[in-house]
Amino acid sequence: MGYQYIEGSVTAAKGFKAAGVHCGIRKNKTKRDLALITCETKCTAAAVYTTNLVQSSPITVTKKNLQNGMAQAVICNSGNANTCNADGMEKAEMMCTLTAQALGIDAGDVIVGSTGVIGQVLPIEPIRDSMAQLVSELSVDGSSDAAEAIMTTDTVAKEVAAETIIGGQVVRIGGIAKGSGMIHPNMATMLCFITTDAAISAEMLQKAVKTAADKTFNMISIDGDTSTNDTLSVMASGLAGNAEIVSEGEDYDAFLEVLTAVCKKLSQKMAKDGEGATKLLVCKVSGAKTEKDAKGVAKSVICSSLLKAAMFGADANWGRVLCAIGYAGCDVDVQKVNVSFASKAGTIAVCQNGAGIDFSEETAKTILSEDEIDILVTLGDGTGSAEAYGCDLTYEYVKINGDYRT
């Protein structure tokens, strides 16, 4: 087993092309706002979605289209979420129909996504009028344009690709994602579109997607808000030539490993690009009684607004870590808890056996002034472990969200 990250993203796998254009949903003409990903062959496909009871029309349509576990294209706009609209379903289905007509495929084989402001009617005319241009610009070099086209308040595009060997064949997985605010476990304000050339059944692909999401995207929190549009979808072309993965075993494990690696890298890119963020925070919990307890503690710590604010100020306020552990609702003996902070500037222990210890505030501040911080929590109760991803809480976050709609 094993994998390595490679250049590229959603077009790294065999059979895929992508494009992104400015169609006019956004007023800013320099910003692409419509993305398309296609495959030369019909793919097995799977997806997971937000747990919010308020769900976008694109999610409803995508769920319906993926009931047979097959897809061949993704169409996605930014600038408008197409959520809580009386004509939302009609518009989402029209996006699928327009895409299918332009590509010569079945509308039921289209995954549709939208992201942006909730409750504003999505104009279909810009999408219709730009479809010919979008299709004409499809290429294996179009992944970055597509990544840009799905961004909202993101400040950087999020792309990654990796490869591994399965059944003696090189298998590639790549993806693009968007997510910066309104992000909280289950899943986040995120859209993520992943492609692979692995041959894998729809059933096993769904299992892998759910497992990978639980360890990565469902362990992100930017601000505690779970969105209405979150979708993580994967299309598998099968063009790598490996024997189809139809059950658990060595080949499935290899696929799951590289899929999880891609999802983890995208998750970290999202967390680091949180609205107004200056730092990526990673809470690494070990020594828990169970993995469930480890996840609960890691999420609780990363979600603490007080801790996030302390990290912004490079303040080693470890008591806020203990406080978050205490209300996590997990089986923890607080008198066994150790806490350290770490970054590329070093590591410093700040709490042992649930109590404070002497440490250099100056050294701690240096460590916490880096742009990637690890919060290391050891519970001393077992072998369970987990990671959660977040960011600091800054003045800029309030500024961005104070006038997001207007």
Residues recognised as catalytic: 189
**Tokens standing for 43?**
């793919």
**Tokens standing for 66?**
């993926």
Instruction: Provide the b/e sequence for 252-269 (b: ≥16 CB within 10 Å).
Output: bebbbbbbbbbbbbbbbb
Cis peptide before 187 (omega within 30 of 0): yes
Q: How many CB atoms lie within 10 A of CB 29?
A: 9
SS3 97: helix
SS3 200: strand
Residue 139 DSSP one-character state = B
Q: Please, what sign has the CA dihedral across residues 394, 399, 401, 404? A: negative
Contact present, 218 and 231 (Cβ < 8 Å): no
Q: Name the nearest CA neighbour of 194 among 37, 40, 339, 59.
A: 37
